[in-house]
Structure 1
Amino acid sequence: MKNPVEILSPFTFAVFRLTLEAIDEMRLPPYKGSALRGSFGHAFRRVVCPMRRKDCEGCVLTAKCVYHYIFETMPSEDDPFVRNRNDKAPHPYIIRPPLDGVERYGKGKELIFDLILIGKAIDYLSYFAYTFMQMGKNGLGRGRGKFFLKRIDAIDPDKTSIELYRAGSETLRSESARISCEALMNRRPSPQRCTLRFLTRLELKAKKRHPEIDFGIVFRRLLA
């Protein structure tokens, strides 16, 4: 097996900052990640799937389908991290919500969060953008408060932002600040110790119990 540096070197991702502006009052839970991810998944399927099937199994379009790639991602044959070839790969996107605990967004208030796209998914930014536009029309949270996508910025490793889209514009610039793990590893030496600080609630089970969190349990879940 290759060493970790060789495996991670070609790994790339890009960070985009999305700004939503409330049209109606939006009422969301203190941790907004689950609400955003749940609504996004349903809306993404409505936007990109032409077949309207209950599941993707047996669909003739899976080889070229954006939804299938994002939500039914299959690992490559040489993926060193996959133990069971029947397992699906992790979704190649992350929604990183604000952790401010705000639950009410009145008219005109902004909700800002990061969207991280990984590998090939970076090329599908336009699908993500259009999906959030459609989500705004359907509403979000309790009461289905409506919003609009106000802007999208690409964020580079130095926290510099590049505006890609602004409401009222008909274009989405295709620029992205792709970040490679190789570049990150070259910028920062490998640490001898690593400390995990949980910013949100973590629930792990082992043998149907909630054990004390230790390295072995966390590491096994990371590899699962």
Structure 2
Amino acid sequence: MKELSFEALPQLKLSDRVYQVLNLMQEHHVTDLAVTREGKLAGLVNENTLLDVDDELSLEAIQQPLLNYSVKEDEHFLKAFALATAHHLSVVPIVDHENNLVGTIEAVTLAGHVADFLQLQDAGGLLVLEVEARQYSFSEIGKIVEANDAQITQLNTKQIREREVVEITLRINKLEISDIVASFQRYDYTVKYYFGEELYTNELKDNYENLMNYLSI
């Protein structure tokens, strides 16, 4: 998530009044906003929970539970997309490992990044792996892919120092990658996401289209 630009959306406090929150949602064209308590994420407030309450009340006084959804700043943006899709969120909060609110990103922005993935279909499959930093080996990764009659067309890595792991994004020159996924799992790689022929054209596309329908775009 760190490589993405976060939106300049307001961060609410529990002392904010309902009418203020609704005005901010209307101004920024979202139905959710992040609420903080001393810099830490308290949760998300949704427009629907505010429509039938006294608009002079504070968020703390309305006694409605906040939504407990967020993504860590070192996680892949696809996790944020999956969260937004599953729970019909217009905004996803991004936090650090101490639950400090780092920023927020809109679902429409996430959908744009997923659209970029969909446009890469002709280029082949894509895998996002994770492995302990001390076990990372470029040559081993190449051998696993080549043993399945495929080649790596692009490889990017990102160190996640807090957990001492490396996140690896691979582009493969073919869409049928189920055997490659199974091979990496046998070698104790964590396969976080993969987009091959079946999953790529069905599940990811369906999630993207469902989110687009929800956002009425």
Structures share fold, TM-score greater than 0.5 = no
Of structures 1 and 2, the one scoring higher in RCO (CA 8 A, sep 6+) is 1
- Larger strand share, 1 or 2: 2
Q: TM-score scaled by structure 2?
A: 0.26
Larger Rg: 2
Q: Give the structure-1-normalised TM-score.
A: 0.25
Relative to its length, the structure with more helix (as a share) is 2
